[in-house]
Amino acid sequence: ETRTCHICQKSGHISINCRWNPNSQNYAGAQWNGGKGGNQHNQHPPNNHSQQPAFW
């Protein structure tokens, strides 16, 4: 399944915010720290984001 994700790296953390529905404004976020992390909803300024597909 292909989802559109916004990836933001800040302070050693990589935050991945995925739109489950491309037509929805609702995001589900996962924050990773050194490969280990919990589920969080993360929002960053748009200029800190890069957009790329993720295959999960």
What confidence score (pLDDT) does residue 4 get? 52
Query: Side chain identity at 55, as an amino acid letter?
Result: F
How large is the average pLDDT for residues 26-54?
A: 41
Separation CA 33–CA 25 (nearest Å):
25
In terms of pLDDT, which residue wins out, 6 or 49?
A: 6
What confidence score (pLDDT) does residue 16 get? 54
55, 4 contact by CB (below 8 A): no
Q: Which pTM was predicted?
A: 0.18
What confidence score (pLDDT) does residue 24 get? 40
How large is the average pLDDT for residues 35-43?
A: 39
What confidence score (pLDDT) does residue 51 get? 47
Tell me which residue range forms the domain holding 36. 2-55
How many domains, the chain? 1
